[in-house]
Amino acid sequence: MTKTIALLGATGSIGRQTLEVARELGLTVAALTAHTNIDLLERQARQFRPRLAAVYDAAAAAVLRDRLSDTDIEVLAGEEGLLAAATLAEADTLVTAVMGSVGLAPTLAAIRQGKRIALANKETLVCAGELVMSAAAEYGAEIIPVDSEHSAVFQCLQGCRDRGEVRRILLTCSGGPFYGKTHDQLEHVTAADALRHPNWHMGAKITIDSATLMNKGLEVIEAMRLYALPVEQVQPVIHRQSIVHSLVEFRDGALLAQLGTPDMKLPIRYALTYPYRAEPPDAPLVRLQGGALTFAAPDEDAFPCLRLARQCGKTGGTSCAILNGANEAAVALFLRGDIGFNDIHRCVERALSRVAVKYQPSLADILEADRAARQAIL
């Protein structure tokens, strides 16, 4: 069980909830990082008194350093700050809750120190899953998923000694705010429409990914890496109620599912207490009386991002880094109002057609593919 955490992405949705759980569990917080939100990071630092606080933006870090000058908290900036936080000796667990590929290098550094990784940054496995899982095996680092779906699969697989026993993984998906709409109907939806998720309260980028179903596509790739399965054995399924978080079907026909309320503190708590479970102060109850649990196949014609992600999962190499980088850049353009909703998948397709795939890539190859993909959509 975790005793001391370093938290990358403290001011985001997952980061804030992680600190709530850490307080409930009585954990020590050794390091906190943020991108630019120094107002919240200062409040968090004063409450949890970490040894280190890091801000990716150098100018913002300088301001925070001045604000915290009355404390003994060290303030660092940029990638150096993230790496220092991730490798802080007293932290036995790194919670990676930053968005995007910026979390890759710090997570790998923590893995090389044999730390437990509570992983909420799916891009780490999407872009560099083979590197990450190989390093985890080499250095004896535990990777515990925080994504609700992958946490559900992780829990269903406890006691499964042989991955050959798994017939398939079913990753559930709410379908987002546009479930049932056609591709043509999606042509003119707005960012405000796309940000109205029916069940989950999340950050803007992941909420848009949920609307395009790219989030589910990235999770398919993530599951392939985490559980060493081909893409054909990882299947998304629409489950509008968000009560069943994922299912595992075994070769004897048995099907195990993990159910719970749509509350991210549940998988966060499990990642920090594994292999034990801790009762929260306000344990939510799953109410099944009178409610139907429904399942349906996703519509890849209306939501091509899911199809693109599955294709990249088959292709391998740097194709997943290209997919992810292009999607991140396209979502940012959509949120700014520069492109339409359906232009997101068109931008990703353009990047995949323009940027060459490298196989058995190094970390440098992966980061270059990410950079090239972002440039290719412009």
Condensed to tens digits (0 to 9), the pLDDT of residues 158-199 reads 988 888 999 999 999 999 999 999 999 999 999 999 998 777
Provide the pLDDT for residue 266. 93
| Stretch 8-36: mean pLDDT | 97
Cβ neighbours around 62 below 10 Å, total: 14
Q: What angle do CA 160, 163, 166 make, to 5 degrees?
A: 85
Q: What pLDDT was estimated at residue 260?
A: 87
- Given the structure tokens 């990638």, which residue do they identify? 79
pLDDT at res. 298: 97
Write down the pLDDT at residue 283. Answer: 66
In angstroms, the CA 213 to CA 174 distance is 10
- Asked if pLDDT for residue 111 goes beyond 80, the answer is yes
Mean pLDDT for the chain overall = 94
Q: Domains (ranges, CATH) in the chain?
A: 4-145 (3.40.50.720), 151-370 (1.10.1740.10)
Instruction: Give Rg (Cα) of the chain.
Output: 20
Angle in degrees, CA 274, 12, 8, rounded to 5: 60
- Band (pLDDT 50/70/90 cuts) for residue 288 is low
Check: CB of residue 145 under 8 Å from CB of residue 121: no
User: Which of these, 247, 152, 155, 261, lies nearest to 201 by C-alpha position?
Assistant: 261
- Longest distance between any two alpha carbons in the chain, whole Å: 62
Give the pLDDT score at 290: 59
- The half-sphere exposure of 295 on its side-chain side, counting CA atoms within 13 A, is 12
- Pairing mode of beta strands 166-173, 244-250: antiparallel
How does residue 113 score in pLDDT terms, banded at 50, 70 and 90? very high
Look at the pTM and tell me if it is higher than 0.85: yes
Across residues 126-147, what is the average pLDDT? 95
